[in-house]
Amino acid sequence: MLYELAKLTLQIGATPKALPGIKAYAAEGEARGRLLGCFASEIGELNKVAVLRGFSDAEALRAERKRTLESSNPFGCRDLLTHLETDSYAPFPDLPPIETGAFGPVYEIRTYTMRPGVLPELLASWRAALPARLKLSRNLIVMHTIDGPPRFTHIWPYASLEQRAEIRAKSVSMGVWPPKGGADHLAVMTNGIWLPTEISPLK
């Protein structure tokens, strides 16, 4: 399974107007991939929507990217769209495919730009750290880019911001998080809190 995470910057206040078009675009007959999540930014950069889709293989992902690039109405909301970023991802080894369901409603989407050449070390450190961390709360996915600058993104659902703070503090106090070698592997860190929209299969 491969993934695409598209981030749409919209005109101020335009998110509700954009959602029907996004839903229709992802469901069109020629569309490839499966809509997994559609989130609106709550804390961090505002007026943004994140669209997470899953693809069976690289060919399907490339075909859908081509469709988006050649579309006169990408994501069905061209008139409301001011900027579009689309990134392709592969999951970290041994992680199950994303399942949809009600796991939130608070989703943390965190992305790191990696230093060049560190992906093998990073994969090893996360493989070692994740089992203990997953005993504290669910992870949706950890994935690295397969095009563009070397980055990786991890997504965590929580019942509330308070639960997120409590679990993060507990993981640090227990010494199980963060994975070892972070400062040696990472160059830039960005983070945001996102809420599922009405069209999102992930709630």
pLDDT for 142 equals: 98
pLDDT the model gives residue 183: 80
**pLDDT per residue over 69-112, tens digit each?**
999 999 999 999 999 999 999 999 999 999 999 999 999 999 99
The CATH number that applies at residue 13 is 3.30.70.100
Q: Please give the biggest Cα pair distance in the chain.
A: 51
Q: Which residues contact 38 (CB under 8 A, 6 or more apart)?
A: 19, 22, 23, 49, 50, 51, 52, 196, 197, 199, 200
| Stretch 122-144: mean pLDDT | 97
* Domain of 93, in residue numbers: 2-196
Return the half-sphere exposure (C-beta side, CA atoms, 13 A cut-off) of residue 21.
18
Please write the tens of the pLDDT for every residue from 62-78: 999 999 999 999 999 99
pTM for the full predicted model: 0.96
Is 102 a domain residue? yes
Residues pairing with 5 in the sheet: 52, 87
For residues 7 and 48, the answer to whether their CB atoms sit within 8 Å is yes
**What is the pLDDT at residue 137?**
98
- The alpha helices in 135-178, defined as continuous H runs, are 161-173
**pLDDT > 90? residue 135:** yes
Separation between Cα atoms, residue 99 and residue 148, nearest integer Å: 26
- When divided into structural domains, the chain yields a total of 1
Extract the tokens encoding 100.
């949809």
% of the chain at pLDDT higher than 70 = 100
Pairing verdict, β 34-43 and 48-55: antiparallel
- Residue 201 falls within a domain, yes or no? no
- Note the pLDDT of residue 161: 98
| Percent of the residues in the chain that have a pLDDT greater than 90, as a whole number | 97
Amino acid 182: pLDDT = 80
What local confidence, expressed as pLDDT, does residue 181 receive?
A: 84
Domain contains 203: no
With respect to residue 181, please indicate whether it lies within any of the assigned structural domains.
Answer: yes
pLDDT, one tens digit per residue, over 10-59 is 999 999 999 999 999 999 999 999 999 999 999 999 999 999 999 999 99
Q: Taking Cα atoms as reference points, which of 129, 138, 75, 145 lies closest to residue 107?
A: 138
- Is residue 125 domain-resident? yes
